[in-house]
Chain A
Amino acid sequence: MPEDATVLVPSLLRQYTDGRSELFLEMDGPCAVSDMLDTIAGAYPIFNRRVRDETGSLRRYVNVYVGGDDVRRQQGLATPVQPGQEVLIIQSVAGG
Chain B
Amino acid sequence: MGGMAPTVVLAVGTKKGLWLGTSEDRQEWAFTGPHFLMTEVPSIGIDTRDGRTRILVGVRSEHWGPTVVWSDDLGQSWTEPEQGSIAFPPDTGAALERIWQLQPDSADRPGVVWAGCEPISVWKSTDAGRTFELNRGLWDHPHREHWGAGYGGAAAHSVLPSPADADTVHVAMSTGGVYRTTDAGQSWTARNQGISAYFMPDPNPEFGQCVHKIARDASDPLTLFAQNHHGVYRSDDNADSWTSIAEGLPTDFGFVMLTHPRRGGTAWVVPIQADGERIPPHGELAVHRTDDGGRSWQRFDAGLPQAEFNAVLRDAASVDTLEPAGVYFGTRGGEVFASADEGASFSEVLAHLPDVLCVRSAVVVG
48-88 of chain A: CB within 8 A of chain B: 49-51, 53-55, 57, 59, 61-62
B94 touches A55 (CB 8 A): yes
Q: In the assembled complex, which residues on chain B have CB atoms less than 8 Å from the CB atom of A54?
A: 84, 87-88, 90, 95-96
Report the minimal beta-carbon distance from B130 to chain A, rounded to whole angstroms: 14
A95 touches B38 (CB 8 A): yes
Say whether B76 faces chain A, with CB atoms less than 8 Å apart: no
A13–B87 Cα distance when bound, in Å, is: 20
Say whether B108 faces chain A, with CB atoms less than 8 Å apart: no
Q: In the assembled complex, which residues on chain B have CB atoms less than 8 Å from the CB atom of A91?
A: 63-64
A92–B80 Cα distance when bound, in Å, is: 24
Q: In the assembled complex, which residues on chain A have CB atoms less than 8 Å from the CB atom of B61?
A: 50
Say whether B82 faces chain A, with CB atoms less than 8 Å apart: yes
How many residue pairs bridge A and B at CB < 8 Å? 46
- In the complex, per-residue mask of B9-40: 1 if CB is within 8 Å of any chain A CB, else 0: 00000000000000000000000000000100
Say whether B77 faces chain A, with CB atoms less than 8 Å apart: no
B82 touches A59 (CB 8 A): no
Say whether B67 faces chain A, with CB atoms less than 8 Å apart: yes
Residues of chain B at interface, number, CB under 8 A: 18
- In the complex, per-residue mask of B93-123: 1 if CB is within 8 Å of any chain A CB, else 0: 1111000000000000000000000000000
A95 touches B63 (CB 8 A): yes
For B88, the closest partner residue in chain A by CB is A54
Known: A54-B95, A55-B94, A95-B38. A13 touches B84 (CB 8 A): no
A62–B62 Cα distance when bound, in Å, is: 9
A16–B15 Cα distance when bound, in Å, is: 23
B96 touches A62 (CB 8 A): no
Best-surrounded residue of B80, B88, B95 (most CB of chain A within 10 A): B95
The secondary structure that dominates the B interface is loop
B64 touches A13 (CB 8 A): yes
For B89, the closest partner residue in chain A by CB is A54
A95–B40 Cα distance when bound, in Å, is: 10
Report the minimal beta-carbon distance from B353 to chain A, rounded to whole angstroms: 15
Q: In the assembled complex, which residues on chain B have CB atoms less than 8 Å from the CB atom of A12?
A: 63-64
Report the minimal beta-carbon distance from B132 to chain A, rounded to whole angstroms: 13
Q: Which of A51, A55, A94 contacts B95 (CB 8 A)?
A: A55
Known: A54-B87, A54-B88. A49 touches B67 (CB 8 A): yes
Say whether B83 faces chain A, with CB atoms less than 8 Å apart: yes
A92 touches B63 (CB 8 A): yes
A51–B61 Cα distance when bound, in Å, is: 11
Say whether B324 faces chain A, with CB atoms less than 8 Å apart: no
Best-surrounded residue of A12, A55, A61 (most CB of chain B within 10 A): A55
Report the minimal beta-carbon distance from A33 to chain B, rounded to whole angstroms: 17
Say whether B65 faces chain A, with CB atoms less than 8 Å apart: yes
Known: A49-B67, A54-B87, A54-B96. A61 touches B62 (CB 8 A): yes
Say whether A45 faces chain B, with CB atoms less than 8 Å apart: yes
Report the minimal beta-carbon distance from B286 to chain A, rounded to whole angstroms: 29
Say whether A31 faces chain B, with CB atoms less than 8 Å apart: no
B84 touches A95 (CB 8 A): no
For A55, the closest partner residue in chain B by CB is B95
Q: Which of B64, B87, B88 contacts A59 (CB 8 A)?
A: B64
Q: In the assembled complex, which residues on chain B have CB atoms less than 8 Å from the CB atom of A53?
A: 65, 95-96
A62–B94 Cα distance when bound, in Å, is: 18
**The 7 A-B residue pairs with the shortest CB-CB distance in the complex, in nearest-first order:** A53-B95, A50-B64, A91-B63, A45-B82, A54-B87, A95-B62, A61-B63
Residues of B whose CB lies within 8 Å of any CB of A are: 38, 61-65, 67, 80, 82-84, 87-88, 90, 93-96
Q: A12-B63, A13-B64, A91-B63 are in contact. List 20 more A-B contacts (CB 8 A).
A: A45-B82, A49-B84, A50-B61, A50-B64, A51-B64, A53-B65, A53-B96, A54-B87, A54-B90, A54-B95, A55-B93, A55-B94, A55-B95, A59-B63, A59-B64, A91-B64, A94-B63, A95-B38, A95-B62, A95-B63
Residues of A whose CB lies within 8 Å of any CB of B are: 12-13, 45-46, 49-51, 53-55, 57, 59, 61-62, 91-92, 94-95
> Would you list 13 pairs from A and B whose C-beta atoms are within 8 A, ordered by A residue?
A12-B64, A45-B82, A49-B84, A53-B65, A54-B95, A54-B96, A55-B93, A55-B94, A57-B95, A62-B63, A94-B63, A95-B38, A95-B62
